[in-house]
Amino acid sequence: MKRTGAQIFVESLKAQGIDTIFCYPGGATLNITDALTDISQIRQVVVRHEQAAVHAADGYARASGKVGVALVTSGPGATNTVTGIATAYMDSIPMVVFSCQVNTMLIGNDAFQEADIVGITRPCTKHSYLVRDVKDLARIIKEAFHIAESGRPGPVLVDIPKDVSSALHDFKYPERVHIRSYQPTYIGHSGQIKKAMRLILHAKRPVLYTGGGVISSNASIELTRLAEVLSIPVTNTLMGLGGIPGDHPLFLGMLGMHGTYAANMAITESDLIIAMGARFDDRATGKTDEFAPHAKIIHVDIDPTSISKNIKVDIPIVGDTRNVLMHMLKIVEDEKDTYKQHHHNVAEWIEKIKQWKKNYPLTYQKNSTLKPQYVIERVFGLTKGKAIITTEVGQNQMWTAQFFKFLKPRTCLTSGGLGTMGYGFPAAIGAQVAFPGSLVIDIAGDGSIQMNIQELATAVQYSLPVKVVILNNGFLGMVRQWQELFYEKRYTWTHLHSPDFVKVAEAYGAVGLRINEEKDVDRILKQAFKNNRPTFIDVHVSPDECVYPMVPAGASLKEMLLV
Amino acid sequence: MRHTISLLVENEFGVLSRIAGLFSGRGFNIESLCVAESLDPTISTMTIVTTGNDAILEQILKQLNKLINVIKVVDFKDIDYVSREMILVKVNAEEKTRAEILRIVEIFRGKVIDVSSRTYTVMITGDEDKLGAFLNLIKPLGIKELVRTGPIAMARGERMLKIKEKTEMKEESNG
């Protein structure tokens, strides 16, 4: 039986086991939109702006570990996805974005709502396809999902012209994918792993520096285990938070520009850095010449291009983080007696770190004003860490990274690489769709929340009880902080007028709450977390608070400004 | 340092733009680029001449390998190889220089492929040194136009660019 391209599309998604798509209709989607009528296996969440569809698919993917799917129309629908795609690309999030396209005949003619979206997104996708013939559609969909979720995950774009979605062809979903030019390396080279383990065995001041690769390869149990059996302290990048429980005694906190004193000093004085699924981003390393000056570096990553890109490493291991960690644990298990001595080797180091943590904890000055850090501490306290947290970008993001102790992987959803304001709210919607029973909280700022505030309508329409804690300081706080520290307090462009967020929430049919004083924090947050509706909590916090510690841009990690 | 890189890529539309975009997006140099169908019509061979220090070259090779449509990448740095380029030159052919030009062309085993009353169009192939030497000799006689293909390259002897499945930079991971 012949089917239309649109039907083939729907059958392919079903065969792929896709249960949710985030979408927005338009002229070019209509064949597919129509084919999805009454298809109950695929939940269709219609957002209010295409950027949000992609962020929601991203949040869905990060929280669940499954591939996120977005579907948009041609032209502006497609170009609106670019920020979302670039966000997912920088953070290696598995995602397939289907953009619809004008008729094949019209491509290149500057037709109405035509954009060369394959060309536009080429530098920020893992791969992309323009489907030129309906006979290729099922195969391309299969390949797109395979590429998105294998190796180093990433977004894949599939552009489907309208005449392709109406053309007829037989449907057969391929069982397997074979791409001769794409075979990621999962198994780390055993010789390299042995070499690495020898270095670890003799290290006196080792540090595990781990990133998003630990989360995406689901390696947090193995990472925690390796840290424990060898007594190696662990620092996380922003993307790696939750890779080891945030309250674990071996956890140093985040490193980098707004990292903890203990983490940054441990890196600086270390004699062996074991990097796992991290990519030595400039926000993590500070000045690269002075990054870990005394250390040898082992780097485990599934993407060879990440290795020796910013920092020359001594032992590269290309492979899946979890796989390599399991291999390392096996070696420790097999040579128990040898590795026993390691605890003794590092005892002095562990003691030193304990002192750093004790003497320079993350802190802030308490006074009569309501501090944003306190609010996040209470969000953590009241939820006991049992929540999926998304953030926007800026101070809200850094304070969350510092003061919310992420206990589990896939609970910290944040735009780490691209730093996309407006990410957190739609990502929270995506996470809530994936986990309807979980408490999902977006920690936002008054600036960021307005970048995708229209998604309140989506949350209300689909009864998604997302909570948005707006740390409202009346400023674009992080930029204001830089102006305060480096531009002689000229607050040009950063003092913004905001609407009444409580009324905005109510106007959309959501719940709006406000906190002005410290004494109200617990009561109002509890009220918000208890209700089963989308809720904005407008928290009026101290306007001039800065994020500390801070390593100024371009400085080395040991040059921290403390509170 | 200058490097000659050979690539086997899927012979599909859009592949060239991915590769060119990779170079421009990451600030890598392209001195020349040649691409055409290979023996297997589903595959194109590409020869790229680029410059950069060791760290940049390592990134170029890894990034090229990472592109889904790239099947194989070889840097000829440590491989014995031959490389040839073709140029077409339109030179002034005045009464008194015509014989001189023909003599030089013959010495370099080139060919005159088009003639007009005042010009010769000469085709000549060779490596960079040979083409440079030829152009130096012919320049004083008056070059009106020059077109070069950029080099194409091949390993010497039995060694070939095989279409073995891509194995993400095995050598590198072996340290």
By CA distance, what is A299's nearest residue in B?
B173
Give the model confidence (pLDDT) of A336-381 as tens digits. 999 988 888 999 999 999 999 999 999 999 988 999 999 999 999 9
Give the model confidence (pLDDT) of A199-233 as tens digits. 999 999 999 999 999 999 999 999 999 999 999 99
Instruction: Please name the member of A179, A185, A192 whose beta carbon is closest to the beta carbon of B168.
Output: A185
Please state, as a whole number, how many other Cβ atoms lie within 10 Å of the Cβ of residue A436: 11
Contact status of B25 with chain A (Cβ, < 8 Å): yes
Mutation for testing the B interface, residue in A145, A180, A296, A320 having most B CBs under 10 Å: A180
Per-residue confidence (pLDDT) for residue B168, from 0 to 100: 44
User: What angle is formed at CA A511 by the lines to CA A44 and CA A457, rounded to 5 degrees?
Assistant: 30
Catalytic annotation present for A112: yes
User: Which candidate, B150, B166, B174, places its Cα nearest to that of B61?
Assistant: B166
Find residue B145's DSSP bridge partners: B90
Under 8 Å between Cβ of A503 and A334: no
CA distance A228 to A203: 15
By CA distance, what is B71's nearest residue in A?
A181
Under 8 Å between Cβ of A24 and A49: yes
Chain B residues inside the 8 Å CB shell of A122: 17-18, 21
The torsion region of residue A464 among left (phi > 0), alpha (psi -120 to 50) and beta comes to beta
Strand arrangement, sheet containing B2-10: B32-37, B43-51, B2-10, B70-75
Chain A residues inside the 8 Å CB shell of B169: 304, 318
> Do the Cβ atoms of B71 and A181 come within 8 Å?
yes
Catalytic annotation present for A355: no
Q: Which residues of chain A have pLDDT under 50?
A: none
What tokens were used for A123? 């530098």
Contact status of A177 with chain B (Cβ, < 8 Å): no
Per-residue confidence (pLDDT) for residue B175, from 0 to 100: 35
User: Could you say which of A14, A66, A113, A484 is catalytic?
Assistant: A113
**Pairing label, strands A95-101, A68-72:** parallel
Tell me what the pLDDT averaged over chain B comes to. 91
Catalytic annotation present for A114: no
User: Could you say which of A112, A172, A335, A354 is catalytic?
Assistant: A112
Q: For CA atoms A46, A51, A52, A53, give the dihedral sign.
A: positive
Q: How many angstroms away from the CA of A230 is the closest CA of chain B?
A: 25
The residue written with tokens 């660019």 in the block is B161
Instruction: Please name the member of A183, A303, A307 whose beta carbon is closest to the beta carbon of B167.
Output: A183
| Res. B166: pLDDT tops 90 | no
Chain A residues inside the 8 Å CB shell of B174: 189, 191-192
What tokens were used for A147? 């590429």
| A contact residues 312-351, partner B, Cβ 8 Å cutoff | 312, 315-319
Under 8 Å between Cβ of A16 and A68: no
Give the model confidence (pLDDT) of B112-153 as tens digits. 999 999 999 999 999 999 999 999 999 999 999 999 999 999
Q: What does the DSSP assignment read for A370-408?
A: PPHHHHHHHHHHHHTT-SEEEE-SSHHHHHHHHHS---S
Catalytic annotation present for A50: yes
Per-residue confidence (pLDDT) for residue B33, from 0 to 100: 96
Per-residue confidence (pLDDT) for residue B164, from 0 to 100: 67
Instruction: Provide mean pLDDT across the span B70-81.
Output: 94
Q: How many angstroms away from the CA of B174 is the closest CA of chain A?
A: 6
Chain B residues inside the 8 Å CB shell of A121: none
Per-residue confidence (pLDDT) for residue A542, from 0 to 100: 96
By CA distance, what is B61's nearest residue in A?
A305
Q: What are phi and psi of A116, to 5 degrees?
A: -80, 75
> Do the Cβ atoms of A183 and B68 come within 8 Å?
no
User: Which candidate, A32, A16, A88, places its Cα nearest to that of A56?
Assistant: A88
CA distance A399 to A402: 5
Q: How many angstroms away from the CA of B168 is the closest CA of chain A?
A: 6
CA distance B173 to B175: 5
CA distance B41 to A310: 38
Chain B residues inside the 8 Å CB shell of A147: 68
User: Could you say which of A126, A142, A162, A467 is catalytic?
Assistant: A162
| Res. B167: pLDDT tops 80 | no
Per-residue confidence (pLDDT) for residue B163, from 0 to 100: 75
